[in-house]
Structure 1
Amino acid sequence: MKARVESWGAWVRFGDDAPQAPVDLRGALVAIDREGARTLGLDGGPGWMISDTANGGARRPLEAHVAVTSRCAAGCTGCYQDATPHGTDVARTSIEQTLDTLAHEGVFTVAFGGGEPLVRDDLGELADEVRARKMTPVVTTSGLGMTEARARSLRSFAQVNVSYDGAGADYASVRGFDGASHAERAIEMLIAAGVRVGVNVVLTRDTFPRLAETLERARLLGAVEAQLLRYKPAGRAASLDYLVRRLSREQALGFGATLRRLVTSLREATPPLSLRIDCALVCFLSTDESLMSNAAHLERSGIFGCEAGGYLEAVRADGQRTPCSFAPTVDQAALRAFVAAPPEPCASCPLRKVCRCGCRIVAGFAEGRGADARPFALAPDPECPRVALHRGAS
């Protein structure tokens, strides 16, 4: 068990020593109140002598996204890092220093990315370095370059996520090259090596109608989890082409209903496939009445909106620390102030505490702040259905 004490209680990641519960808590990251923390032998010291809201809602990172290279030969048309075959690998010593810092800060999960992490021969060893510091390593890969030997070398990762946006033409329409077969083969090799596999699925207007088929294919391949990702206007995707690739207004309005149907069908399948959504998709739930009425349940289920600079941080290949993988360095105080007191319609939204006003990258692109390669704006997400309806009415 690993724990990090907070003013309100503690974050706890259970190991094989997890207590008996209606659900399997092994490997789970759980927020518990002060009373629950005390039953686990945790002590908040003087910080627990005052109100649990006295810290003003400050959040510290639970997860860090760490780029280990800027090299990648895939050339994806929407690459948010603008990675190329001529990029550079981050020095091993620099990565280890970063891991030391993250461990000291109480981070629980380190997610390696790039570029393409598989270009590094020491990727499996880096996972061992994360575990040696009592953190959990995960990694995302396109699967290009995967071999049976490489798959076996990745067994120290708690999970390897393979980018898989659909079979055949769907994959190519999202990434600009026909890599679906490479991704599927990588999934098969990882599973054969005993590695837990998830898939990352980027949603676009053209492929969204076949999302159910994509997820079913991933489930049959052996993936145990799928993470749905919003297409974001960053890196090579920060162009006018983004406007025809993003989800349509109708798709955004119906996203909540689509998500509920998928969760039900995949949970009842044998074997099941668990479904997660990234922070930028949470705002698309803002007009779904069944979800809006139970915002607290969403939060307890681990669904969070924009956590840039809060529960999430990123370390770029150049060593720069940013609020998220898509963002530049920003004024953290200004970001916290915006989230604490946003304008309408976010101010009165029942999902406000969960959603946190949508995606800052999308908001920045809409406001035309393109001088920075990764625009960022303290404004409501204009593609949020609630925001779009509000602006249309006004």
Structure 2
Amino acid sequence: MSNYLQRIGAASFAVALGMGSAVAQNTPQATGRLSNDVLRIGVLTDISGVYADISGKGAIEAVKMAVEDFGGTMFGKPIDVVSADHQNKADIGAAKAREWYDVGGVDMINDLANSGVALAVAGIAKEKKRHAIVNNASNVGITNAQCSPYTVHYAYDAYSLANGTGRAVVENGGDSWFFLTVDFAFGHGLEQQVSEVVKKANGKVLGAARHPLGTSDFASYMLQAQSSKAKIVGLASTGQDTINAIKAAHEFGLTKNQKLAALLLWINDVHSLGLPVAQGLQLTNAWYWDMNEESRKFARRFQERVGYMPNMAHAGDYSSTLHYLKAVQAAGSDDADAVSAKMRSMPIKDMFTQNGTIRADGRMVHDMYLWEVKKPSESKHPWDYLKLVKTIPAAQAFMPLEQSTCPLVKKSS
């Protein structure tokens, strides 16, 4: 057991040890074989760019926590965690994934912040027959055009965000939209999904302005949004881009006559903005650190390691890594096809979700939640930022399987 677990005391040690013991006791296959005498997990993430705060070192530590809680070994052999910065460039991410799969002995790659990177790595995972788990990208192509038995889309996607925040805003009268969209696969996919929700509700999309990743000056984009006269300005971005856009909207007075819809807002973003600016914003997330006692225990352990509370992707990194390890143990080997079958047959019930299942297309379906940012007067302690508006059941949260274009999905005649 790691020095970290020793340091946090007997109570936390018992929790972590209990989780690892439960895996060993409840998994049918307790012995097995690894192909190269080590099980290696790669965390491919944004360590230095605009998504570093919502991914980065937090993603790496969440995966390490899952390995520690599992017990640190598989069939008596070590479980190794390696990490790399993809720099938000699909070619760099793809090259690292290929290197890891070909010569690095990596069995599974996790996190994959940035949809362009995630789509590229999913294609390589399919080619190499190695596992990839996406927790920090939204493009639905991961479980459509790029689907395979080896890729799982875990925490959220553009469809679930559109049918959470987007639908709630439309239902509350927000029937005309203008989008400020980050100009790559993530932003395009999110804009498309929300546009479909708006149009199905007889609303109108009045236009969109595309901005580069890592934009700091939103002045010209705010002027375009204001001149559109749309009731809702949808922010099809995330991380620092969304933070900068929200700050600019307040500075330019846009929020006096129009409302913002932040389509992928993180607890980290709320922390950066502060409640006086972020109050009232609605967001769809799969998980919140203060949901229940189990989530709070994980969050406090995480905070001790990295200095801030985890978001839904960090929780997904942890949960999906633990699920993968359980599947390897149940399969009795790291054979990719055997592990894939186990991952799809085993239910997911942990601090991330109580009703998770992985479909044939690789989409992990679970309940999603619509939250609202609290007023400063409503917050009682640090990181007490969100209040629950409604639960979106798993069956409604994600794209119906019959709409999937994944060739692994059998269509009824």
Q: Same fold (TM over 0.5)?
A: no
Structure in which a larger fraction of residues adopt helix: 2
Does 1 or 2 have the higher relative contact order (CA < 8 Å, sep 6+)?
2
- TM-score w.r.t. structure 2 length? 0.29
